[in-house]
Amino acid sequence: MGVLPVEEKRVITAQMEELRKQALENPEQFWDEKARALEWFKIWEKVLDDSQKPFFRWFVGGLINASYNCLDKHVKTWRKNKVAIIWEGEGGEIRKYTYRDLFVEVNRVASLLRNFGIREGDRIALYLPMIPELPIFMLAAARIGAIHTVVFSGFSSDSLAKRINDSKARLLVTADGGFRRGKIVPLKEIADKALEQTFSVENVIVVKRAGNPVNMVEGRDFWLHTLLEGVSKNTYIEPVKVDSNHPLFILYTSGTTGSPKGIYHSTGGYLVWVYWTFKWAFNLNDEDIWWCTADIGWITGHSYVVYGPLMHGLTTLMYEGALDYPAPDRVWSIIEKHGVTGFYTSPTAIRMFMRYGKNWVELHDLSSLRILGSVGEPINPEAWEWYFNIVGKGKCPIIDTWWQTETGGFMISPAAGIQLLPLKPGSATIPLPGVEADVYTEDGEPAPPGTQGYLVIKKPWPGMLLGVWGDPKRYIETYWSRFPNCYYPGDYAMRDEDGYFWILGRADEVLKVAAHRIGTMEIESALVSHPAVAEAAVIGKPDPIKGEVPVAFVVLREGYVPSLKLEEELLNLVSETIGPIAKPANIFFVHKLPKTRSGKIMRRVLKAIVKGEESLGDLSTIEDASAIEELKSLVGV
């Protein structure tokens, strides 16, 4: 592969330019051709319907099935005996599923779902650890046209309940427990608590994983292994031919309000996008062993642990546990053991490995690696260089992919499968074909090269979200209102003289903590639900490993005084309401928050104080400047 960062004049190559030109000048023709890489039961009548914008619809009238494209397509060929999933448990067990094995299990589970009365369009919630049953249930749902909504197994019962209620899931699939750093997370118990606050779930299927005791509700809860005893290995469930715009899944993600948004994706457009972006960016083939370390509870796992690799007939590795458990070289030992060739992880993980030191890396033979990827947050050049030199030994390009839950797949990324442009540490390079990105000023003018502005996408693309589940207004307001006729991702960006994009972090009240997306409002509303709390403001503080961490400022009600015990209580409350990943790194008890005269919390001032910045910016609108002194002394600047 040998295309490395070089110092010479960076030019966009003819090959890349040609493809981008075709995609942007004649998108209908371009995608009409590209979409045929997938198997369709019926070809679309129209490639793009923009009559209801911004509710763009792709491949209108086409009929397709995701499970068919991931499984049936391959079991018809020599790939039926190829390993589809290599699974490694945290304790070291290994399970391998060939495409044929996966096909068999998905059909059996699909028949179970049918027996529970699940039909096309019904939602099923999957609250599972990283075990093969998770992709099996996803594909089984897709097979019968049911819509899956995967809930990250690190989320709390409240978070799970919210997602079940919003999606009105009829069935919940969970496990007795999941392993995390050798300990058991009692998933069924957490799910039981969630079910006390929900009304739509009729049945629960429980996967036996950790062996911890659970409470099974007679007539409602069923063990998967018991159910499967009655289902033959020859079971075949005809894949339902769904409309291209039939939702494949709903995935909840944080926004700027207290409640997460149900991002839902189409079947046809989403699959076409994931198929091509994966091929363009990473260019993998049958010899590759692909490992994306993301949990399937996030979009990265949906698109590039499950759907992307399986559509391409690749071998995808799934690992159950923490990347540094039981020792800091776990990740390197997995790469060595399974001969991983493509490795895709987050900058937070890279910074963590960096801190452990290169000796842990050098204990292992990583010569199988040929391509590396990064996702989830901006990668700092220092982490990039370490990844490139220490992990990739200076031989593997780093594919820094910018995208979001909403975009379905990669948007701005180096493209090893088209033509790799010279890489610059910290830049995701240029948009992939079909993505027309720009950087706008506050007023919606193109920002001059080298200046910071807002990233915008100016044309629809096949992988775009269909909408926000049950809330079309929120879809329009969040994504299509900031700048006219543009999709607004909510990120700051800068384009340099060579046309390369640099993503500079969130422009809204969303944090990226260890590459996970968390809304400051969600944390604030958890905090104010405590009787002692009158007001709360949460901001992100830069963190050397996690990128940023939440920091909370809390004003107590009359009659309450700050204490360590109260702090502990508040931290637990956040953990229980959202999940441990949302826990603030610090809670500062203050008498007053900096507010404008119209009563808006000045988060940028809090941010500047926490960062220890000299200048706090324009303070002319502040209601009471005395708030600042208290904050400064508390934070210690």
CB of 415 to ligand WT7, least distance (A): 14
Looking at the Cβ atoms of 403 and 553, the one nearer to ligand WT7 is 403
CB of 346 to ligand WT7, least distance (A): 8
Looking at the Cβ atoms of 99 and 155, the one nearer to ligand WT7 is 155
Q: Give the footprint of ligand WT7 on this chain (CB under 6 A).
A: 253, 299-300, 375-378, 400-405, 428, 489-491, 503, 506, 512, 517
CB of 500 to ligand WT7, least distance (A): 12
Describe the chain by its helix, strand, coil percentages, rounded to 5. Answer: 35, 25, 45
CB of 253 to ligand WT7, least distance (A): 5
Closest CA to 195 of 157, 225, 228: 157
Tell me the residue type at 348: T
CB of 579 to ligand WT7, least distance (A): 14
Distances (CA, A) of 336 to 84, 306, 339, 361, 387: 18, 22, 5, 10, 16
CB of 319 to ligand WT7, least distance (A): 17
Looking at the Cβ atoms of 101 and 400, the one nearer to ligand WT7 is 400
Looking at the Cβ atoms of 495 and 506, the one nearer to ligand WT7 is 506
Pairing between strand 247-253 and 261-266? antiparallel
Tokens in use for 264?
């839902």
CB of 218 to ligand WT7, least distance (A): 39
Structure-derived torsion over alpha carbons of residues 316, 317, 323, 328, reported in degrees to the nearest 10: -120
Residue 597 burial by Cβ neighbours in a 10 Å radius (0-12, 13-18, 19+): exposed
Looking at the Cβ atoms of 107 and 427, the one nearer to ligand WT7 is 427
Looking at the Cβ atoms of 493 and 551, the one nearer to ligand WT7 is 493
Question: What is d(CA 611, CA 526) in angstroms, rounded to the nearest whole number?
Answer: 24
Neighbour count for residue 470 (Cβ, 10 Å): 13
Looking at the Cβ atoms of 228 and 581, the one nearer to ligand WT7 is 581
Closest CA to 627 of 543, 531, 529, 553: 553
CB of 538 to ligand WT7, least distance (A): 17
Contact (CB, 8 A) for 67 and 28: no
**DSSP string of 178-198, one letter each residue:** EEETTEEE-HHHHHHHHHTT-
Looking at the Cβ atoms of 163 and 170, the one nearer to ligand WT7 is 163
Neighbour count for residue 63 (Cβ, 10 Å): 18
**DSSP string of 569-633, one letter each residue:** HHHHHHHHHT-GGG--SEEEEES---BBTTS-B-HHHHHHHHTT-S-----TTBS-THHHHHHHH
Q: Three-class SS of residue 423?
A: coil
Helix 626-635 and helix 603-610, axial crossing angle in degrees, nearest 10: 30
Looking at the Cβ atoms of 221 and 438, the one nearer to ligand WT7 is 438
Question: What is d(CA 344, CA 386) in angstroms, rounded to the nearest whole number?
Answer: 15
CB of 270 to ligand WT7, least distance (A): 14
CB of 517 to ligand WT7, least distance (A): 3
Identify the bridge partners of residue 316 per DSSP, sorted by sequence position.
85, 290
CB of 473 to ligand WT7, least distance (A): 20
Neighbour count for residue 168 (Cβ, 10 Å): 15
Q: How far is CA 311 from the centre of its chain?
A: 19
Looking at the Cβ atoms of 267 and 303, the one nearer to ligand WT7 is 303
Looking at the Cβ atoms of 242 and 468, the one nearer to ligand WT7 is 468
Place of tokens 């007023």: 443
Question: What is d(CA 291, CA 284) in angstroms, rounded to the nearest whole number?
Answer: 11
CB of 299 to ligand WT7, least distance (A): 5
Place of tokens 């899944």: 249
Looking at the Cβ atoms of 103 and 270, the one nearer to ligand WT7 is 270
Question: Is the backbone peptide bond immediately before 54 cis, with ω within 30 degrees of 0?
Answer: yes
